[in-house]
Structures are given as structure tokens and as C-alpha cells.
Amino acid sequence: MKPHRISIVQIFRVERVITVTVDAPDIQSAIDKQSESDAPAFSDPGWRDSWSLEQDHARRASG
């Protein structure tokens, strides 16, 4: 037997969730107001990530 180089590819789905407080007269107005605004910065520590493996497979390594 001889050694072979292979690459393992993993494809993930990532969901990020953050809860914010929006001043508005009702919930629908708050949702509409936030929808018109930018989300908090990507680096905001309030974000929570959820990762799920969608697929993985092995293939011949390039190079």
C-alpha cells in the first residue's frame, strides 16, 4: 500500500441571532423600524452562533 493525499470538505450552515431593544409603539412597528436599520456590528459580543454540518465528503487533494 502507498499513502494518498485526500482533502476532506465540510459544508456548514450557520445561523447568527442577536436580541436588541427597539423603542416603538408596538411590536410590528419595532420590527419595521429594525428592518429599516442596520444590524449590530458583526463583532458585537451579543451575537450567538449555531452551526450545523450539512455535508462532508472526501476527494483527491489538489497539488
Annotated domain spans of the chain: 1-18+46-63
Q: What is the pTM of this model?
A: 0.68
For 8-63, the pLDDT digits (tens) are 999 999 999 999 999 999 999 999 999 999 999 999 999 999 999 999 999 999 97
What is the distance between the alpha carbons of residues 18 and 38, in angstroms, rounded to a whole number? 13
- How high is the pLDDT of residue 4? 96
Residue 6 has pLDDT above 90, yes or no: yes
Q: Which of 47, 59, 45 is nearest to 15 (CA)?
A: 47
Q: Which of 35, 52, 41 is nearest to 18 (CA)?
A: 41
What is the gyration radius of the CA atoms in the chain, in angstroms?
Answer: 21
DSSP helix, strand, coil percent of the chain (3-state; round to 5): 15, 40, 45
